Amino acid sequence: MTVTIYSQASCSSSRKALKWLKDHNIEYKEKRITSHPLTLAEFKEILSMTEDGTDEIIATNSNDFKNLNIDIDQLSIQELYAIIQAHPRMLRSPILIDEKRIQVGYNEMDIRRFIPRKVRAYELNAMTRLAQES
């Protein structure tokens, strides 16, 4: 499975996530949302994978969001998409997705969900053996 990472160049969390993916040999494709805005299909896919909808992906503490002074709950998907196209820094970053999972932001423990299950099982068995030998 290939992970898609929606990143921002100036974001340290995006850089950490990209480094983590490289270090763990996880196949990924990067899309910088500030230079290549999301398509409507990508936006809908991300939104459909969230548990908390827009609350999960909108950076309400960003200057772009504060300056707009809008109530996103009153917007249609099309209206929100148009605003995000014009102000991509409103999105939290990075956003990592594959066919089954989404992660918003960088969290060193949570990002491990993108390691294939077989590899995680192998690592767990190896750690268990080491613990038993000690």
Would you please indicate which residues are annotated as catalytic (active-site) residues? 11
Structure token digits, residue 83: 């605003």
Q: From start to end of the chain, where are the E strands?
A: 3-7, 28-32, 95-97, 102-104
Q: CA nearest 97: which of 33, 23, 9, 12?
A: 33
CB of 18 within 8 A of CB of 114? no
Angstrom distance (rounded) from CA 102 to CA 96:
6
Q: CA nearest 94: which of 22, 2, 9?
A: 9
